């Protein structure tokens, strides 16, 4: 069994119980084959009377009941195991932050883990049966007919040998198929979420062509997997058929010559296929189970990944984040590379932001601006270099304490299906008076009063019944609801807004940034004008912004102050 799935099954009592009973039922049904063959051979040869048909019918019925019980128990074990795995996987979402694409996570927790069903309900019982029944059959054949038993013993290993040879290729092509499916599902979901933005910037057609390319890659990977699976079935069936022929032909000749009695010949012919059948079934179900195994590997890689991975450095001891006013933030030769990507999201960036300073981060899309904010939020860790907060490495700070000093307004704030007041107070223990004061400061009161129940009006998921500007004001109100926050991080808060909404957001932001260290990612001039200094990112590196700024900004590998 997959070692990580085995570890999880042992930890979950319901999974452990159902899985053990399922495997026991599968093995018991397999061993009853010996009794069934013994009775049937005896009746057909005349060794037993017709009365033996009654116990034979009981054996057949018992095998049917055990098969049904195995299916039910396997289904319950699979459901319990997938639920436990999903709980652990979704429990990592907060720690993962934006470094792991949400679309790929949705594909993994949904379609990916559902692919574990063939592994848990088919492959594992087949492995248990293949480990017991062929040995029991060979032992019985040794007692019944030594020559046949020797032939079976010599030919039986051919099935797992050829199965393993094909299986190595199967695992590789199935992993490629899963990666293609994960990329397709993740990219499609991300495109659907960002469709309004793509349409606004005229990039919808381009993304349609990208989805076609990804879908074609998944189709090609699926066809390769099916070809290997059909080839494997052909090989296993051919080996098993030739092996049975090597058993059946000598038995028939010996029966004609009179050197073998009818009862033994029938027993041998009935039992010999049962020695090969479990191994053939295991090989066939191996291919159906490989997609689930690939998904499980990725799921456990996510679950077991450290929350803040660091390269070439030991983690520093956790220290409290000192609350001594607006922080001084310093980046020293910081490089960030996301997993699976060769290019750096940030490349040797050095930057100093003084306490109370307001800095605008500008640059083209994909330049690394949002990565810089995620770095300060502790969502991603630098591959090289370090981030200092008031002279202390961020890696050694208590992240929960540090985040209490931050107010973050993302470009696309997520609003929950609860009231306006609860959305504003999210993450804080604000009183109704403080919530209303924050709403006034962020201009939420301008539209909240017109809602059916005012601040108690429930919103749709993601703020479906509000405009983009209104959602952005609610996000700003959340920041106003954190009076203890000493640093402000803004990620293009006026993107996709009309002029009136932008003016309201800019005015609220100006008040919010007073007395705080502020880092503002912006494209629009109105937001850039709020800053004391402008820093430009391009290709993940700092570049000069020209002679306009009063403070010099260094190039790649240099330091901006």
Q: How far apart are CA 557 and CA 383, in angstroms?
A: 15
**Per-chain mean pLDDT for the chain:** 78
Give percent helix, percent strand, percent coil of the chain, each to the nearest 5.
65, 10, 25
Characterize 220-259 residue by residue with b for buried, 16 or more Cβ atoms within 10 angstroms of its Cβ, and e for exposed. ebbebbeebbeebeebbeebbeebbebbbebbeebbeeee
Q: Taking the domains of the chain in order of start, what are their residue ranges? A: 3-304, 308-405+485-561, 415-483
Domain covering 415-483, topology: Rossmann fold (3.40.50)
Neighbours of 174 (CB within 10 A): 27
Answer whether residue 314 shows pLDDT above 60.
no
Cβ partners under 8 Å of residue 41, min gap 6: 47, 263, 266, 267, 270
Q: How far apart are CA 34 and CA 137, in angstroms?
A: 7
Decide: residue 202, CB within 10 A, 0-12 exposed, 13-18 middle, 19+ buried: exposed
pLDDT of residue 32: 92
Of 340, 386, 346, nearest in space to 366 by CA = 346
Neighbours of 172 (CB within 10 A): 14
pLDDT of residue 547: 35
Neighbours of 540 (CB within 10 A): 23
Cβ partners under 8 Å of residue 149, min gap 6: 138, 141, 142
Kindly state the average pLDDT of the residues 117-139.
Answer: 89
pLDDT of residue 94: 61
pLDDT digits (tens, 9 = 90+) for 391-447: 888 888 888 888 888 888 887 788 888 888 888 888 677 788 888 888 887 778 778
Domain covering 308-405+485-561, topology: Rossmann fold (3.40.50)
pLDDT of residue 25: 92
Q: What angle do CA 156, 159, 163 make, to 5 degrees?
A: 155
Kindly state the average pLDDT of the residues 188-216.
Answer: 68
Q: How far apart are CA 209 and CA 222, in angstroms?
A: 20
Answer whether residue 493 shows pLDDT above 80.
no
Q: Same fold for the domain at 3-304 and the one at 308-405+485-561? A: no
Look up residue 264 and give its two tokens: 């033994």
Class of domain 3-304: mainly alpha
At 465, is the secondary structure helix, strand, or coil?
coil
């Amino acid at each position: 069994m997959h070692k990580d799935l085995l570890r999880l099954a042992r930890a979950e009592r319901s999974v452990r119980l159902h899985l053990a009973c399922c495997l026991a039922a599968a093995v018991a049904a397999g061993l009853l084959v010996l009794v069934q063959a013994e009775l049937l051979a005896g009746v057909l040869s005349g060794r037993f009377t017709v009365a033996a048909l009654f116990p034979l019918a009981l054996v057949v019925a018992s095998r049917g009941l055990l098969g049904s019980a195995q299916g039910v128990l396997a289904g319950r074990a699979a459901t319990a195991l997938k639920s436990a795995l999903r709980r652990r996987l979704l429990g990592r979402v907060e720690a993962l932050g934006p470094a792991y694409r949400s679309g790929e996570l949705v594909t993994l927790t949904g379609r990916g883990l559902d692919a574990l069903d063939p592994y848990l309900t088919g492959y594992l019982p087949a492995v248990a049966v293949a480990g017991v029944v062929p040995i029991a059959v060979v032992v019985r054949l040794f007692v019944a007919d030594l020559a046949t038993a020797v032939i079976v013993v010599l030919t039986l290993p051919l099935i797992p040998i050829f199965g393993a040879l094909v299986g190595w290729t199967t695992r590789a092509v199935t992993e490629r198929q899963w990666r293609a499916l994960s990329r397709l599902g993740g990219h499609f979901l991300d495109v659907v979420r960002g469709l309004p933005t793509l349409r606004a910037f005229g990039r919808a057609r381009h993304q349609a062509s990208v989805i076609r390319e990804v879908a074609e890659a998944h189709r090609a990977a699926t066809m390769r997997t099916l070809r290997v699976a059909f080839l494997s079935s052909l090989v296993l069936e051919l080996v098993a058929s030739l092996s049975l022929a090597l058993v059946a032909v000598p038995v028939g000749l010996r029966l004609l010559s009179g050197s073998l009695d009818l009862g033994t010949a029938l027993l041998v012919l009935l039992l010999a296929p049962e020695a090969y059948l479990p191994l053939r079934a295991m090989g066939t179900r191996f291919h159906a189970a490989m997609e689930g195994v690939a998904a499980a590997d990725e799921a456990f890689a996510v679950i077991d990944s450290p929350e803040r991975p660091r390269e070439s450095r030991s983690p520093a001891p956790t220290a409290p984040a000192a609350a001594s006013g607006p922080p001084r933030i310093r980046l020293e030769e910081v490089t960030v590379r996301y997993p699976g990507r060769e290019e750096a999201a940030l490349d040797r960036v050095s930057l100093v932001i003084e306490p109370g300073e307001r800095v605008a981060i500008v640059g083209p899309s994909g330049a690394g601006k949002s990565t810089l904010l995620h770095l300060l939020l502790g969502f991603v860790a630098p591959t090289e270099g370090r981030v200092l907060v008031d002279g202390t490495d961020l890696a050694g700070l208590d992240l929960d304490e540090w985040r209490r000093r931050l107010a973050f307004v993302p470009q696309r704030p997520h609003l929950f299906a609860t009231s306006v007041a609860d959305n504003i107070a999210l993450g804080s223990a604000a009183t109704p008076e403080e919530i209303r004061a924050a709403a006034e400061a962020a201009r939420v009161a301008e539209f909240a009063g017109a809602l059916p129940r005012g601040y108690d009006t429930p919103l749709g998921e993601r703020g479906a019944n509000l405009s983009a500007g209104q959602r952005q004001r609610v996000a700003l109100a959340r920041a106003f609801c954190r009076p203890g926050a000493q640093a402000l991080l803004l990620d293009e808060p006026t993107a996709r807004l009309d002029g009136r909404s932008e003016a309201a957001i800019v005015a609220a932001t100006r008040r919010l940034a007073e007395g705080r260290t502020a880092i503002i990612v912006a494209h629009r001039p109105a937001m850039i004008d709020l800053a004391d200094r402008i820093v430009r990112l391009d290709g993940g590196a700092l570049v000069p912004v020209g002679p306009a700024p009063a403070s010099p900004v260094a190039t790649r590998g240099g330091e901006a102050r």
